[in-house]
Amino acid sequence: MALSNTYNFAPTLGEAGLYALSRCDVKKTAILQEHLFDLRMAANLVCMDFSNKGVNLWQVELITQALTQGQATYEVDPAVVVILDMYRTQNPGLEDQSDQIMLPISRSEYASYTNKNQQGVPSTYWNNRLLAPTFTTYLTPDGTWPQISYYAVKQLMDANLANGGSVDIPPVWFKAFVDALVAELSLTYAFEKFQVFKAVADASYLVAAEQNVEVASQYILPQIGSYFSR
């Protein structure tokens, strides 16, 4: 048996879309401009849905923000879906660089703090998820820690049919994407099959999502020492 010895499977959105439309009983010879408009819209809706469903590891990015003494609030890229982990850094880039984790807090907890302008070493942050999102530290930076870094999940890039555009997903997610695209398009072109297509899409997503995890050991140790202390 001859193997291809290649790993280049990466269909364009056009190729994936033609296949998805054919599953919705739209023949290639019958495709009009309106089909392509619906295809682009459906593809971007699926991308948004994937961004909302969970942490897409290929979209996790490390972002660095310089801190300014006396400034607590900083802008966040609107393409960021959620901040995962944040840490402050002292002596960045030097041999004695020191990183310390910061903990997220809610709007209510931040509102409960009495002196929000108090300067010191920031240990917590509130991610205000507006249309123009921000994060606010507490305490307000006092200049002793010059930098914050955080891992953030960014939304998938826009799906574009022009110039052989592809989709911002790894190849192993293509089946999940195409099955979801078929379900989305069936709402317009094959509504009677939507429930079947939706079930297939949900199953494909679960298979892909099971591989979209970090492989690491996890240990849970209950703190019960105080029960036996004398």
Residue 12: what pLDDT?
94
Question: Which residue matches tokens 């439309």?
Answer: 21
pLDDT tens digits, 85-131: 999 999 999 999 999 999 999 999 999 999 999 999 999 999 999 99
Residue 213: what pLDDT?
87
> Rounded CA gap, 196 and 190, in Å?
11
Residue 223: what pLDDT?
59
Question: Which of the four pLDDT bands, split at 50, 70 and 90, describes residue 224?
Answer: low
pLDDT tens digits, 138-190: 999 999 999 999 999 999 999 999 888 899 999 999 999 999 999 999 999 99
Question: Which residue matches tokens 């679960």?
Answer: 206
What backbone torsions phi and psi does residue 50 show, to the nearest 5 degrees? Answer: -65, -40
The packing angle between helices 13-23 and 33-53, to 10°, is 100
Q: Which residue has the higher pLDDT, 170 or 220?
A: 170
Q: Are 146 and 53 spatial neighbours (Cβ–Cβ below 8 Å)?
A: no
pLDDT tens digits, 5-26: 999 888 999 999 999 999 999 9
pLDDT tens digits, 38-48: 999 999 999 99
Q: Are 39 and 21 spatial neighbours (Cβ–Cβ below 8 Å)?
A: yes
139 cis-preceded (ω within 30 degrees of 0) = yes
pLDDT tens digits, 31-67: 999 999 999 999 999 999 999 998 899 999 999 999 9
152 membership: H or E segment, kind and range: strand 147-154
Residue 92: what pLDDT?
93
Mean pLDDT of 196-206: 98
Q: Are 185 and 38 spatial neighbours (Cβ–Cβ below 8 Å)?
A: yes
- For the record, the structure tokens of 195 come out as 């429930």
Residue 225: what pLDDT?
55
**Residues ≥6 apart with Cβ < 8 Å to 94:** none
Identify which of 52, 44, 9 has the alpha carbon closest to the alpha carbon of residue 205: 52
Q: Where are the domains positioned within the chain?
A: 13-55+157-211, 57-154
Residue 214: what pLDDT?
84
Under DSSP, the state recorded for 218 is -
Q: What pTM does this model have?
A: 0.86
- For the record, the structure tokens of 146 come out as 């010059």
